[in-house]
Amino acid sequence: MLPLPHASILAAFETLALEAGRAIMEVFNEDFAVETKADASPVTQADSRAEAIILKGLRKSFPDIPCVAEEEASAGICPPDLKGPFFLVDPLDGTREFISRNPDFTVNLALIQDGVPVVGVVYAPARDIFYAGSPAGAYVASTEGHQLRERRPIHARLRPSVPTVLASRSHRTEETNGFIASLGAVELVSIGSSLKFCLIAAGEADIYPRFGRTMEWDTAAGDAILRAVGGATRCCDGSLLRYGKRNQPDDCDFANPHFIATGA
């Protein structure tokens, strides 16, 4: 296979994430219904609108790269063969935050190559902030009217003596609390969605432990940004978190094990 055009993929990710964010905010600013999927997780019209925008754009621009998207996967729609590169899409990460009118929800797009997230964008439309990472590095940008303003390079920081630990706002577990307690003195911040990866990548936090349920589309985009600045997301055995996991003996396709994300 020819080398993938990472710059072109990143440019497409930027355009589609911003367009999806606009559609999400149109729903956010209205009264909207909440439905429950088969796995008991909530879904709204914003999820489906955003996913349709993203998938249409990716399939038009990159017809040879398969897509794995949260809502399609929930409906049993998934490419049969993922031996090559593929896209992972979470059109609205943090649906519970969206429903509760908390601004910590994001649009997540990632390119997976050889099990590794190599290009990713995370857009938080209610916070007007956009993060991106690729082999060329990572940046953060503010947004206005769902358009990017000036991009600023980001870098992870060396861990201070009192690290900042990020924990899920909606999915905290006792095992997570126990791990945090084992670290000693920390500054603990609760925040939703994949923004936790981005804050570590931007040098604003240090550790994100997740001892609870996640799927690959929840983590891939933020993980790509974190890896672009030298950070890592590791399983409890120390191995790097991998993507494209199927036919797992103890869990469903694309389910993640517990992990710990860290900066430099």
Residue 168 CA to residue 229 CA, distance in Å, equals 22
The DSSP annotation for 107-141 comes to EEEEEEETTEEEEEEEEETTTTEEEEEETTEEEEE
- Is 218 annotated to bind a ligand? Reply is yes
- Is 143 annotated to bind a ligand? Reply is no
- Is 92 annotated to bind a ligand? Reply is yes
- Is 93 annotated to bind a ligand? Reply is yes
Residue 260 · residue 207 · CB < 8 Å: yes
- Is 76 annotated to bind a ligand? Reply is no
- Is 90 annotated to bind a ligand? Reply is yes
Burial of 144 (0-12, 13-18, 19+ CB in 10 A): exposed
- Is 95 annotated to bind a ligand? Reply is yes
Q: Which residues are annotated as a binding site for substrate?
A: 70, 92-95, 218
Give the residue ranges of the annotated binding site for Mg(2+): 70, 90, 92-93, 218
Which residue numbers belong to the known binding site? 70, 90, 92-95, 218
